Chain A
């Protein structure tokens, strides 16, 4: 007896479903299996005790631990300081690059692109090579007999300098499209209405660019908080470590042992929550930015 071939048969519906999804299926399975499921696993783990029971002990443990609290505050500060300096230095340069002719702009874009991709341990070494004990700048300061030293790579400000090597170029590359969309006609129209330059920037240019700059700040803030390789290479281990960060605490507990990973999971979920809030705010800001174009 032949199988029923009507549109209601299981066979037909399965076939339809496969036609709809098959080419995307391997990627979606991988993405859900290696991105979504692990995140859910960490959420569960942060609420689980040693025997798999539900508990808030991990959360209480993190929130009452001085070292964890310090790591969270330092990470937030490091992200905020990095993002703010990237904003301050990056916005005028992004504006300038967005107004360049194509040929010089390509050169700048290549340089910024390279710097924004040069990250990780190699970059950390670059900063040891200039700011470390025998670093180029350190030696130069010593040679000249200057009474002060540059920030060492294992300090808060040393990390800010190393982070911003990629952050400033990233910020510039992120905000150039927004800057490029601020049109010449608008300035001319404002001028026709008798606006001064300051007034133009306060009433038109500023409000239009603000969501772009805000979104760039937010991404740099979020990415800086999540960096692991650079601080791992620069901040030192154990007792020699001067700066404690969320990502380093997580790494430490993964290296140490399997027990006590509940608290590391809590720290991971803290980073997750920050990432989710950032992403939602980022989308909202870009929604505001898009209304002008």
Chain B
């Protein structure tokens, strides 16, 4: 008897796994059917099938604008996080370890605190001190940047620990490289998987996010989340169009998730026991 096999009775295990797969696939399957159905009000499956929702969706200027806005915001937030966080973590590893407690404290906040509370806090603080920035896309982008920050931070921090950046940097310095040159030419190539993984998480957070968008800007910057809500619960709800958008979102999420699993394959020995724990470095 080994630990690797037969821990669960095989019938029970089969049922449990099959149940989970069905549970995870059913909502997606239903959305997919909605995206291709003509009328679907009476039976398990739609009455008929059509591709017209897809053609209509692609020709709808509001929907195209919503998509572009959401993608643009997510890209901006991702770029922002890369530019702001990588130097901070790098400096913490090679020069000033006192940066770490600040990063760990602030990363813990969006990790456990609901986004709706953070959004409320930002709204109320900006109302008191900087009314001019209220409702701007800039504030939304920065807010997305900070709530997505822990995921990026942990991915890159792990990568830096695994690559032993302090040592790499020491070697680069001995060869006469400046800190900047050592970051660009030595460190970055060694932590690229961490940056890619972190970036994909940031992108996914911003792409799907609802609370901050709704509370901080609302209809002034309609994203996929806001438009989806309107199509789901608004006065002229349109499930078929919503299904097309949701399938699109799902494909984005699926691609990012599969890619990040692929990039991190073979990393059996995780340095952290669980996310958010202190690193074991």
Contact = CB atoms under 8 A, between A and B. Distances in A.
B221 interface: no
A237 B235 CA distance: 13
A229 B27 contact: no
Interface in A188-212: 191, 197, 212
A175 B99 CA distance: 29
A20 B98 CA distance: 9
A228 B210 contact: yes
A125 B2 contact: no
A152 B208 CA distance: 24
A62 B172 CA distance: 59
Given A139-B44, A290-B280, A30 B102 contact: no
A226 B116 contact: yes
Contacts of B103: 24, 27-28, 31
Given A89-B16, A136-B26, A182-B3, A106 B261 contact: yes
Contacts of A45: 124
Contact residues of B: prevailing secondary structure:
helix
Interface in B238-266: 239, 242-243, 245-246, 249-250, 253-254, 256-258, 260-262, 265-266
B91 A23 contact: yes
Contacts of A125: 31, 228, 232, 239, 242-243, 246
A149 B99 CA distance: 55
B35 to A, nearest CB: 10
A177 B272 contact: yes
Interface string A99-123: 1001000100111011111111111
Nearest to B17: A93
Nearest to B266: A102
Nearest to B112: A275
Contact-residue bracket for chain B: 35 or more
Interface string A66-108: 0000000000000000000000010011011001001000100
A39 B211 contact: no
A129 B228 contact: no
A68 B248 CA distance: 38
B204 interface: yes
Contact-residue bracket for chain A: 35 or more
B257 A38 contact: no
Contacts of A8: none
B131 interface: no
Contacts of A250: 116-117, 120
Contact residues of A: prevailing secondary structure:
helix
A93 B20 contact: yes
Given A36-B106, A268-B117, A96 B258 contact: no
Contacts of A32: 106
A41 B124 contact: yes
A26 B253 contact: no
A286 interface: yes
Interface string B13-28: 1001100110110111
A60 interface: no
Interface in A140-170: 140, 143, 165, 168-169
A53 B276 CA distance: 38
Interface stretch (B54-62, B143-151, B163-171, B184-192): B143-151
A59 interface: no
A35 interface: yes
B113 A275 contact: yes
Among A34, A119, A169, A264, residue most surrounded by chain B Cβ atoms (within 10 Å): A34
B279 to A, nearest CB: 11
Contacts of B71: none
Contact of B114 (A136, A168, A226): A226
Given A21-B96, A129-B30, A42 B117 contact: yes
Interface string B77-89: 0000000110110
B249 to A, nearest CB: 5
Nearest to B211: A228
B249 A290 contact: no
A187 B2 contact: yes
A143 B246 contact: no
Interface of B: 1-5, 7-8, 13, 16-17, 20-21, 23-24, 26-31, 33-34, 40-44, 84-85, 87-88, 90-92, 95-96, 98-99, 102-103, 105-106, 108-118, 120-125, 128, 142-143, 145-146, 149, 204, 208-211, 214-215, 224-225, 228-229, 232-233, 239, 242-243, 245-246, 249-250, 253-254, 256-258, 260-262, 265-266, 268, 270, 272-278, 280
9 contacts: A19-B95, A31-B106, A117-B253, A122-B228, A137-B26, A228-B115, A251-B214, A265-B124, A279-B276
Interface of A: 19-24, 26-28, 30-32, 34-39, 41-42, 45, 89, 92-93, 95-96, 99, 102, 106, 109-111, 113-130, 134-137, 139-140, 143, 165, 168-169, 174-175, 177-178, 180-182, 184, 187, 191, 197, 212, 215-216, 219, 222, 225-229, 232-233, 236-237, 247, 250-251, 254, 261, 264-265, 268, 271-272, 275-276, 278-279, 282-283, 286, 289-290, 293
List 3 A-B pairs, minimum CB-CB distance, nearest first: A38-B121, A226-B114, A126-B27
